[in-house]
Amino acid sequence: MHIGERIKKARLKRAWTQRDLARHAQVNHAWIAKLESGDRHNISLEAGARVAVALGMTLDYLAGITKRMAPLEPGEAPDEEPVV
């Protein structure tokens, strides 16, 4: 699954449009559309962090490093090995 697919999955789970996500993450909606369609694959760390925070996911999940979407609670140990 590429980064755009993970973004789209989380966006749809919240019943947001691409414009909704763009507004929450303070990014351009056309940029979100390009990511989700696979026309764009790499993003800056800052933009990735904005999208991850807006969607309530970890940057590790967004980047495909881990399969765990939600952040760990304080003191909680990871239950899986990194993907990469």
Is the pTM higher than 0.75? The answer reads: yes
Q: 3.60.20.10, 2.60.40.730, 1.10.260.40, 3.40.190.10: which CATH number matches 3-63?
A: 1.10.260.40
Res. 48 pLDDT band, cuts 50 70 90: very high
Q: What is the pLDDT of residues 4-35, one digit of tens each?
A: 999 999 999 999 999 999 999 999 999 999 99
Cα 84-47-7 angle, rounded to 5 deg: 60
Q: Using an 8 Å Cβ cutoff, are 57 and 5 in contact?
A: no
Q: Which amino acid is it at 25?
A: A
Domain locations in the chain as residue ranges: 3-63
